[in-house]
Amino acid sequence: MSAKRLFTESQYKEDEPAEKRLKPRRLLSLASVIGKVIGLNSMNKILSDLEPWLRRVANEELENALSNSHFFTRFHSLENQAEVETSSCLQLMFSKKVLPPTLFTASKIADKDNNPLQVVLLERSTTSAGTDHDLSLYPIKIEIVVLNGEFPLGGGETWSSEEFNENIMKEREGKRPLLAGELCVTMKERLAHVGDLEFTDNSSWIRCRKFRLGARVVPGSYKGTVRILEAITEPFVVKDHRGESYKKNYPPALGDEVWRLEKIGKEGAFHKKLQSEGINTVQDFLKLSAVDTPRLREILGPGMSERMWDVTIRHARTCVLGNKQYSFLGNNNCVFILNPICQVVGALIDVDGQLVTVAPSDLSVLTNYNIESLLRAAYENWNSLQEVPGNYIFQ
């Protein structure tokens, strides 16, 4: 051992005894160890206490997810989609899927054109299915049912039989069967005519407030091996028949009272404003809209927003105008031919003693006439116009 090392150790021992020097370090080390042990035990205790609660929360979340109809149905739909698409090459379909947007209880159900419902059988693919496709050889029983308006989720075009059946709506407790009438019909030659049907209850008691009609093969009436996919209509609202006297017409007729248009309520503010200006029918409404739209908007006032106006005028313009035409004599012996809502559909001009017809597309050549001014005059003297016999047809 060198003299330098001996001197250092000797000096250190003389300045501070070894026992006194080592004791604090041992205490610090022991305290640190004890702290760690205590901390670890506390954490284990906390985790042990939290474990039952965490398990309960996890179980509840899992149960909620599995019980959620949207989650389950969507999962089930995806699971069965491939099977449905590959196993179904035949499908029932309503000849017209669109019904009026609002139906009423105790009223006959018809399509949007007021025609009886029909169900047809179509092929979904070119896949051969043997004798299953020769369905004209034997009749099939078809049942008409009421469906939840939200079916099918996601707007899909395929579903399983189980999904379809799960969405069939039943009557409320204490109520009559939801649908009354000829619920079962016979399909022959791939066509079934649906008889009289009517709802006995409104659709306000389900979440989406809408129903669909569905058509399915009556179990046991079809012996084929290929599944026939069910038919569905577009969703619609069903209201109590007591509100039918206030219903809107689709499409409206020229002679309908003006409140039959969307956003114009019977005896409401807009209705009264229009009546005060002599606008009582849908025809009156359309005539003024064709001749002086700003004036019509002024009558309705600021209470009718642009969105409401768009809805009302679109509905009014679905009106079937018919074939009637009227003549109005302008200046220079020019006769204008108008349709029932005061729109020019042609003109007759005297050229050297002969009447020459002018089609609507050529009216711009009539530079000597102020068409807008003539239409206003025709509108103001509408009751004096003469109906054109035989109707002029302008190409």
Query: How far is residue 280's CA from residue 284's CA, in Å, rounded to a whole number?
Result: 6
pLDDT over 80 (residue 333): no
CB-CB neighbours of 289 under 10 Å: 19
Identify which has the larger pLDDT, 123 or 67. Answer: 123
pLDDT at 388 over 70: yes
- Does 332 score more than 90 pLDDT? no
Please, which residues have CB within 8 angstroms of residue 254's CB and are 6 or more apart in sequence?
A: 281, 282, 283, 286, 319, 320, 321, 322, 340, 341
**What pLDDT is attached to residue 81?**
46
Residue 307 confidence (pLDDT) above 50 = yes
**pLDDT at residue 247 above 70?**
yes
pLDDT tens sequence across 170-229: 999 999 999 999 999 999 888 999 999 999 999 999 999 999 999 999 988 887 778 899
pLDDT digits (tens, 9 = 90+) for 89-103: 789 999 999 999 999
pLDDT recorded at residue 165: 95
The answer to whether the pTM exceeds 0.75 is no
Q: E strands, 205-343, where?
A: 211-217, 228-229, 231-232, 237-239, 326-329, 335-338
* Helix or strand holding residue 52 (H, E): helix 18-67
Is 60 exceeded by the pLDDT of residue 278?
A: yes
CA angle 376, 380, 385 (to 5 degrees): 100
Give the per-residue pLDDT at 128.
Answer: 42
Q: For a pLDDT cut of 90, what percent of the chain falls above it?
A: 48
Q: What is the pLDDT of residue 65?
A: 59
What is the rounded average pLDDT for all residues in the chain?
Answer: 80
Residue-wise pLDDT for 132-144, tens only, equals: 555 555 689 999 9
Q: Which residue has the higher pLDDT, 245 or 371?
A: 371
**Lowest-pLDDT range of 248-257, 264-273, 383-392:** 383-392
Per-residue pLDDT at 243 exceeds 80: no
pLDDT confidence of residue 55: 73
For 66-85, the pLDDT digits (tens) are 555 444 444 444 444 444 44
Q: What is the pLDDT of residue 139?
A: 83
